Structure 1
């Protein structure tokens, strides 16, 4: 085999290292297989000699400002658009178009719920339940409520995060025994101030349901079900004689499943649906189950969550009026931020193709106006730029003002990185108490 000149070989290595170091986030890994790049995709040209195509740099180089310019300043179905003078007419058309583009899979009747186990822990009555959707393995979930309460209570659908940890789902925001997995304990310390927030709000007088959603926990992609992909040591972790709860096996699975996201997303697009659409369908099924419980007041149901849970809040609360109060934590920005600055550290689960022509990202949540909505942001959140978080706040503020419902919307900014700590939980719980 012909050897490369050493200079060219060094350039190739440097470029590979640059790609690897610049596209991964500690929170939500960008899914790009640099080791699958062939020599044909790594040109010999020294990239430093290519002239700049624009004075402003972006994630996509000189194409950034052009791409951003394709997005209308006020999208066609934005309530901020002056052509919309009737809220009901706007809402009907905007929700119809968003439903079309999200393209959720067909929704079936509420599935049969099986109660696997009941017990009491830390003053809470806990039910471990399952249900079977038409696709995938059974969904596992927990219901938590104060011990001894018999009257119908307000309820919260707790939406777990992403965090690059697909092995776990609902377990990330609950605690059902003193024997907690070390990785879950660590996650709750770093992201939730050491609290299982679903437990904490249940203690305040709520029925709380938290379920595994598509591709997480019990709904995750099991390696043994995958054909045609063999990425590293995850096949060892998937063997029947391996301990799936062993930390190194969990971390291996999480790495593999993050790299599998672009495969899943392409397959969902090819099937005529979207990841937000699948989320919405599964979260609405969980909402069906929660609202049908005899211990729940169906007119007083809220939802909320951090990060991936905040993303799910945007779509669920925006599209389903049964959510009477919403708290979106750590997932609010603009499409412009994702075009120019931050798409590299966000999951494929964020995107609904073509929707930016009709709504800016915060306006998906704004579809619920005038229902109460709180958005919590962190000033040093590495997943967004502060300027765009503030623009998103201004957009939602304008939507609620036009609907004469400014008192139903609030945004709060906290110092610190991506998190939902005790101070933020206190404000979120007070918001739920106020409106539910």
Structure 2
């Protein structure tokens, strides 16, 4: 009888995992408009080779729109008018901060330790804190080697988007033998089945992983927006009850894809941007890490895949407390987004008017000469290969002009959108070489 039950449990679990792969690659609206990393592998037949075509995603307006910004843009360090790095950094960073328009967000509570335990050779702390911009308390997981003494270097590990806003920190951590089947599927698809935050913690780091704006514990819940009257953003018939059920997560993630447009428009009307709010919340998490007595505050890094790479680009580019950065699967040019690929990316990406002053890779380049690794995949369908290569060239040029060529590395790997075990090993070596 017990064996029959076990077989039924295993069969049901296998079905859920299979369904998780299928459901997280949401219909075309979600995949094409809202998500910086698709939760299914890009369809080969749907891969527009736009770099070889004269067409664009905005039709006959593409070449015109793609040429509106100067090349290089006004505040690019590549311009001959800028000879010295520090005056350029000051001017360009001030303009970037102005346009990103990150609101002032503070903690309205102490950092609460919800639970402490050990798992798989790690000391685990489940943390929470309340932020001043509303929403429910931020939940976070902190990991460090079991029995570690003294101050350790630290990593702010940034979870991806993945078209899955129901989850946040759980995408890159594992704190129990039992995981949600969708997270097993997610880690298998993107991370070689690894919880990379755990793995780097075991190498001697304090690692913090937090839910950021609109993800996980910070997600928008139906009960808070009842009354939206139109179309796919209506919450009629939707429920916050039994949220961990697969079907309910599917429904929520579809709804959240549509709601991105409402959220972004509202943020613009409030005088801020989605990158700005996310940056502010990520900086609040960085504050939490820095305040810990077990952290070597002079040796802090950050990194992540896809949406986590995007968050790395903004956070590491605009906060010098990040001494070593690893941006994975989120590097191209504004021109690529204008003419080819804006439809593959979330509203978390875009800062209006910033392309007049800096190309996209130069946001991350604002951190020069601090250590920076960018990892890209040759068959990543979220970008055109030519523009990924151009972005890498821009960063190399910025670092070389600043006399810090050895502090930047751009690496390309075979395969599509991922942060697999080989890439993780290279990223961990990069962190070790700069933070230890």
Pairwise same-fold verdict (TM > 0.5): yes
Aligned to 1:186: 185
Measure the CA separation in 1 of the matches of 2:388 and 2:331: 6
Q: Post-superposition shift, 1:108?
A: 2.9
Q: Post-superposition shift, 1:232?
A: 7.6
Measure the CA separation in 1 of the matches of 2:186 and 2:158: 15
Q: Post-superposition shift, 1:143?
A: 0.3
Alignment of 1:407-426 (within 5 A): 407-426=406-425
Aligned to 2:11: none
Deviations for 1:39-90, whole angstroms, at most 9, x for unmatched residues?
xxxxxxxxxxxxxxxx921000000000011011111111111101121111
Maintained 8 Å contact 1:332/1:362 = yes
Maintained 8 Å contact 1:159/1:211 = yes
Please point out which of 91, 95, 98 is paired with 1:100.
98
Aligned to 1:80: 78
Cα distance, 1:430–1:26 mapped onto 2, change above 3 Å: farther
Aligned to 1:91: 89
Aligned to 2:290: 291
1:115 aligns with 2:139: no
Aligned to 2:62: 64
Measure the CA separation in 2 of the matches of 1:420 and 1:76: 34
Q: Post-superposition shift, 1:111?
A: 4.4
Task: Number of aligned residue pairs: give it.
Answer: 391
Aligned to 1:315: 314
Measure the CA separation in 1 of the matches of 2:160 and 2:239: 23
Cα distance, 1:259–1:189 mapped onto 2, change above 3 Å: same
Measure the CA separation in 2 of the matches of 1:410 and 1:215: 32
Greater RCO (Cα-Cα under 8 Å, separation 6 or more): 2
Measure the CA separation in 1 of the matches of 2:346 and 2:180: 25
Q: Post-superposition shift, 1:360?
A: 0.1
Aligned to 1:25: 31
Measure the CA separation in 2 of the matches of 1:22 and 1:172: 23
1:219 aligns with 2:183: no
Maintained 8 Å contact 2:274/2:348 = yes
SS of residue paired to 1:383: coil
Measure the CA separation in 1 of the matches of 2:207 and 2:238: 33
Deviations for 1:321-376, whole angstroms, at most 9, x for unmatched residues?
00000000000000000001001111011000000000000000000000000000
Aligned to 1:238: 239
1:251 aligns with 2:257: no
Maintained 8 Å contact 1:24/1:344 = no
Maintained 8 Å contact 1:301/1:325 = yes
Measure the CA separation in 1 of the matches of 2:34 and 2:155: 25
Aligned to 2:124: 126
Measure the CA separation in 1 of the matches of 2:131 and 2:108: 9
Aligned to 2:40: none
Q: Post-superposition shift, 1:243?
A: 1.1
Maintained 8 Å contact 1:315/1:365 = yes
Maintained 8 Å contact 1:28/1:163 = no
Alignment of 1:368-379 (within 5 A): 368-379=367-378
The runs of at least 4 consecutive aligned structure 1 residues that moved more than 4 Å come to 20-24, 26-30, 232-237
Structure whose CA Rg is larger: 1
Measure the CA separation in 2 of the matches of 1:323 and 1:110: 24
Runs of at least 5 residues in structure 2 that lack an aligned partner in the other structure: 1-25, 37-52
SS of residue paired to 1:343: helix
Maintained 8 Å contact 1:23/1:344 = no
SS of residue paired to 2:31: coil
Q: Post-superposition shift, 1:228?
A: 3.2
Cα distance, 1:119–1:27 mapped onto 2, change above 3 Å: farther
